[in-house]
Amino acid sequence: MASAAPGPRGLRWALGPLGLCWALLGPAAATTATNIVLLLMDDMGWGDLGAFGEPSKETPNLDQMAAEGMLFLDFYTASPLCSPSRAALLTGRLPVRNGFYTTNGHARNAYTPQDIVGGIPDSELLLPELLKKAGYTNKIIGKWHLGHRPQFHPLRHGFDEWFGSPNCHFGPYNSSERPNIPVYRDWDMAGRYYEDFKIDLKTGESNLTQLYLQEALDFISKQQASQQPFFLYWAIDATHAPVYASKQFLGTSQRGLYGDAVREIDDSVGKILKHLQQLGISENTFVFFTSDNGAALISAPRQGGSNGPFLCGKQTTFEGGMREPAIAWWPGHIPAGGVSHQLGSVMDLFSTSLSLAALQPPSDRQIDGIDLLPVILQGKLIDRPIFYYRGNELMAVRAGLYKAHYWTWSNSWEEHSKGIDFCPGQSVDGVTTHTQEEHTYLPLLFHLGRDPGEKFPLSFASEEYQQAVQHISGLLQQHRATLVPGQPQLNVCDQAVMNWAPPGCEKLGKCLKAPESDPKKCSWPH
């Protein structure tokens, strides 16, 4: 595909009064709009930062960011796996609504490997598409993960620039059986992982984080010079196995290779924030740091992080799989040293970003994210539940300090017997079950204030249990009454759709011959 590719598809949105004025006056009128920087980590756990209690205290820049801004202690992803959580962030909608789930099995996690046929549907409105109407220039750096086929390209869904990859950096592969994952520069591929963008699996060395950092600094400088508001989505993946770090950071952490990657990310975030300050735009730039799901304990400790006091990790709907580190930073607006117990979600970043741009969320669909600005700027608490989905099943609901599990499952005995353990050293009888256990009529209830590790279910006979479950059951009924599941996008896989010949491969001599199409049901064991 040539670089001069067609623009994004037709857009439909609802504008607030200010947003309508900006749309009528044109981009030049929006120069005072707040810039938005979302820093989304990959498989980073709640317990990986010093500000959240990590004992080695190796994240001074992120800790300083927290000291100057607001720490969210009860912030959640929308799925315990990467692709659905990213789709939820960018649409403000639960994966079961936006189609990022599977019906190939009950309560199965699914994502976008390179043989997936589906991706983000055209019917979904993404945050950058909406921000463009307020004059924003939008860039994604790092992992997209919402589909790699041409129709799912991020520049067709509101982004103006991209440097990064459509998939995880797995590999290296034998190109006759499976192609290495491409890295894109805007519309066209710039090379492939392991071939042109090196990752040394033996040492863990790669300079990718440095490349992603420089991309961010250059973009911010360019936008500041042009006096146009910007949205930067910095979705880097160094903490996703296989973990990597640049040479100057290797061997510098007490935590091993994973800690090296975290230290480099911390250093990079510090440089991004300092750059905003040096350019004089920090007071006009809202920055939010979080992660796509909990730490992958199956890869720990060398290739995985820490979920602090919480149960299990990535792939599960226990707290360790879905509660995330989260920091908001906006000098001159957010009071320093703030700590919030607001129940937050990555989907709130959608609604909050629109609010910053004086835009209203789309009115023609259910939006699950809420505007966090009253929380961040005024210290308010908004009463709202958190829904814990795994694939097509609602596993648990949190309201206040109570969490009710309607289904429990870590993974199957078959997978567990292969050494795949999402809860290493954390088995809790009747909770971390290896068969799917339904608790619809007597949900397992935990008080997350007294028992953040979900080890001690409340007695079914207690008055506390009865009152909490009655309240949560009402919330659950309301949610189900409005739920219209989207068309599942993660059901079909086909080797023919892999990254054999991405746009721009001809110029680089990197086009590969695709096999015959053979679509099949994707297998999702977890």
Q: Give catalytic residues, as residue numbers.
A: 82, 145
Cα torsion 398, 300, 424, 144: sign = positive
- What φ, ψ does residue 41 adopt, rounded to 5°? -85, 170
Is 348 flagged in the annotation as binding?
no
Residue with tokens 């977890």: 526
What is the token pair recorded at 441?
Answer: 């009529």
- DSSP single-letter state for residue 299: G
Angle at which helices 348-356 and 82-91 cross, to 10°? 30
Distance CA 154, CA 144 (A): 7
Is 383 flagged in the annotation as binding?
no
Cis peptide leading into residue 113 (ω within 30°)? no
Is 82 flagged in the annotation as binding?
yes
3-state DSSP call for residue 295?
Answer: coil
DSSP labels for 259-279?
HHHHHHHHHHHHHHHHHHHHT
DSSP labels for 158-224?
T-SEEEEESS-------TTTSPPPEEEETTEEEEEBTTTB---TTT-B--HHHHHHHHHHHHHHHHH
Distance CA 205, CA 456 (A): 42
Centre a 10 Å sphere on the Cβ of residue 165 and count the other Cβ atoms it contains: 24
Long-range Cβ contact pairs of 446-451 (< 8 A, separation 24 or more): 446/402, 446/403, 446/405, 447/401, 447/402, 448/319, 448/398, 448/401, 448/402, 448/403, 449/401
Is 42 flagged in the annotation as binding?
yes
Is 207 flagged in the annotation as binding?
no
Q: CB–CB of 131/510 below 8 Å?
A: no
Distance CA 250, CA 256 (A): 8
What is the token pair recorded at 98?
Answer: 């936006």
Q: CB–CB of 521/492 below 8 Å?
A: yes
DSSP labels for 55-67?
TT---HHHHHHHH
Q: CB–CB of 404/349 below 8 Å?
A: no
Instruction: Look at phi and psi of residue 315 and say left if phi exceeds 0, alpha if psi is from -120 to 50, else beta.
Output: left
- Binding site for Ca(2+), by residue number, is 42-43, 82, 292-293
Residues that constitute the known binding site: 42-43, 82, 292-293
